[in-house]
Amino acid sequence: MGKTLFEKIWDTHIVQEVTDGPSVLYIDKHFIHEVTSPQAFKGIEDRGISIFRPAQIVATADHNVPTQNQHLPISDALSRFQVDTLIANCKKHGIELYGLGHEHQGIVHVIGPELGVTQPGMTIVCGDSHTSTHGAFGTIAFGIGTSEVEMVFASQCLLQTKPKQMRINIEGTLGKGVVSKDIILYIIAKISASGATGYFVEYAGLAVRALSMEARMTICNMSIEMGARGGLIAPDQTTFDYLKGRTFAPASAAWDTSLAYWQTLYSDPDAAFDIELTIDAATIEPMITYGTNPGLGIGITKNVPTTAGMQDEGERKNLEKALQYMGLTAGQSLIGMPVQHVFIGSCTNSRIEDLRLVADLVKGKTKNPNVQVMIVPGSQKVAKQVVKEGLDIIFSAAGFEIRQAGCSACLGMNEDKVPAGEYCVSTSNRNFEGRQGAGARTLLASPLTAAASAITGVITDVRTLL
């Protein structure tokens, strides 16, 4: 029987099988950041051992950095100490750091791909659940905890149990105003926030093949939001064209060797999956979430569900609690509801293509005066490109504020927060209670839907503006 894409990569990275236990899995690339690494560095030092393969680690500061005045010392003392600790640890252990002020700095899942560090066939980990983003290149990439960061520091390996495998085929063509964020929000709404727990998910089908690399990253990024360890997409010409010429991509003869290998990375026709789903892209509308987990989403023209007919007591209670937190009523439409904030950024949607989509829509328009709009580019490179293409002029004219690179209001760790009780249409990945600030009410959507709502001041079906 043939192998899946996942199995091809997994099998070539197994150092050893442990009897009645997990396998020793070799890790090619390890990304680290300031929040989930300090305890792992300390652990290594307490054990009196050194970092096994520092050259395979790439560090950046993203989660806990300000998005204004990055040239000045960080004003929050705890944040400053955490970022300084990363700088000291990287220096001490000989790890490449793209910290504040470095031209490569940015959100870890934006910079890995844009620098060409992320390459097909690799195993990649990071102490961040959205590491699944890198799967868009045909990699096994997943988020780990800090103890596991320490394990990779110590041995460049992890003990892992082979996950089950799911394939989701997205066939057909996307409608006008529907983008990759809508595909993944649709899938999560369909199978729930825990529907893929225990699985690695391969996304396939003609609609996926037609997507750019950046659009594919958005899909893989949110795999964790349905519980999956990771998501991946077989590399193809789109992948190879994206990688060619990137800073750390192989060049000349090494490129040819790598390409020959990358071209073998696909699921064989007779490979077996534990679960397989097929979705028709044409049925997907622009999506928006109404609840407090990413699975509580609807097509924008649909109404918020009611508890009528719900058999499961837990499910009914969850919905009631979510609607209460969100200040919404069962059965209502979201279209036309006033919003106070729009956040365009995060490892899900802060790449140049996302910002081009937004710029195309808002060109010549201005935001509604009752909405605060913040655009946070995913990296210094993206920020530079925004200026190069003159998008900053469009954004400024529209009244959108452009910040400096970082995770920002996606997780409310720095000062970029949404006040309690206020609504934010956000291109990020989580709408959990308090995620964007205590009491904040997050509605997840695509960059297009976010931009449309910024202009009108109310939740808007972007298709009415196209």
List the one residue from 64, 119, 165, 428 that touches another protein (CB under 8 A). Answer: 64
Q: Tell me which of 218, 221, 293, 349 binds another protein, using CB under 8 A.
A: 293
What is the x/- site pattern for another protein, positions 67-86, by CB under 8 A? ---------x-xx-xx--x-
Which of 2, 47, 283, 336 contacts another protein by CB under 8 A? 47
- By CB under 8 A, is residue 381 in contact with another protein? no
Please pick, from the candidates 29, 109, 167, 435, the single residue that binds another protein as defined by CB under 8 A: 435
Stretch that binds another protein, among 171-179, 329-337, 406-414, 456-464 (CB under 8 A): 406-414
Binding status of residue 148 toward another protein by CB under 8 A = yes
For 110, the token pair is 């934006």
Closer by beta carbon to another protein, 22 or else 331: 22
Which of 198, 331, 336, 390 binds another protein (CB under 8 A)? It is 198
Interface of this chain with another protein, residues 112 to 131, rule: CB under 8 A: 127-129
Identify which of residues 156 and 456 has a Cβ nearer to another protein in the complex. 156
The tokens describing 331, both together, are 């059965």
Under rule CB under 8 A, residue 39 binds another protein? yes
- The Cα–Cα gap between 50 and 320 comes to 51
Q: Pick between residue 134 and residue 381 the one whose CB is nearest to another protein.
A: 134
Residue 363, phi then psi, degrees to nearest 5? -50, 125
Exposed / middle / buried, residue 370 (Cβ in 10 Å: 0-12, 13-18, 19+): exposed
Strand order of the β-sheet with 275-280 is: 230-232, 199-204, 164-171, 275-280
380 touches 102 (CB < 8 A): yes
CB-wise, 341 or 435, nearer to another protein? Answer: 435
Interface region with another protein, contact rule CB under 8 A, candidates 140-148, 210-218, 328-336, 361-369: 140-148
Determine the residue type at 461.
D
Give the nearer residue to another protein in terms of CB position, either 298 or 452.
298
Question: In the complex with another protein, which residue's Cβ is closer, 172 or 439?
Answer: 439
What is the DSSP code (8-state) at residue 299? E
Cα(466)–Cα(461) distance, integer angstroms: 10
Binding status of residue 161 toward another protein by CB under 8 A: yes
Tell me the backbone φ, ψ of residue 14, rounded to 5 degrees. Answer: -85, 115
Amino acid at position 421, single letter? G
Using CB under 8 A, which of 50, 75, 173, 194 touches another protein? 194
Which range, of 106-114, 143-151, 241-249, 393-401, touches another protein by CB under 8 A? 143-151
Overall residue count recorded for the chain in this entry: 466
Site for another protein in 328-347 (CB under 8 A): none
DSSP conformational letter for 290: -
Rounded distance between C-alpha atoms, residue 370 and residue 340, angstroms: 6
Confirm or reject binding of residue 157 to another protein (CB under 8 A): yes
Report the candidate in 346, 342, 380 with the shortest Cα–Cα distance to residue 361: 342
* Count of CA atoms in the C-beta half-sphere (13 A) of 372: 12
From edge to edge, which strands make up the β-sheet containing 441-444?
401-402, 372-375, 341-344, 423-426, 441-444
99 belongs to the binding site for another protein (CB under 8 A): no
The verdict on 38 binding another protein (CB under 8 A) reads: yes
Cα separation, 134 vs 140, whole angstroms: 8
Q: Minimum CB separation from another protein for residue 307, in Å?
A: 14
Rounded to whole angstroms, the Cα distance separating 317 from 319 reads 5
Q: Judged by CB, which is closer to another protein: 50, or 366?
A: 50
Q: Using the rule CB under 8 A, give the single segment among 101-109, 212-220, 314-322, 391-399 that binds another protein.
A: 314-322
Q: Does 307 bind another protein (CB under 8 A)?
A: no
**DSSP secondary structure, 360-415, as one string:** HHHTT----TT-EEEE--SBHHHHHHHHHTTHHHHHHHHTPEE--SS-GGGTT-SS
Sole binder of another protein in the list 4, 36, 349, 428 (CB under 8 A): 36
Contact 320, 312 (CB under 8 A): no
Out of 16, 68, 333, 370, the residue judged to bind another protein by CB under 8 A: 16
| CA pair distance 33, 106, nearest whole angstrom | 10
CA nearest 262: which of 121, 97, 364? 121
Q: b/e per residue, 97-131, with b = 16+ CB within 10 A?
A: bbbbeeebbbbbbbbbbbbbbbbbbbbbbbbbbbb
Total residues binding another protein (CB under 8 A):
68
Task: Give the nearest distance from C-beta 95 to another protein in angstroms.
Answer: 16
Q: Which parts of this chain interact with another protein (CB under 8 A)?
A: 12, 15-16, 18, 20-22, 24, 26, 35-36, 38-39, 42-43, 47, 49, 52, 63-64, 76, 78-79, 81-82, 85, 127-129, 143-148, 150-151, 154-159, 161, 193-194, 197-198, 224, 227, 229, 257, 261, 293, 314-315, 317-318, 321, 411-413, 430, 432-435, 438
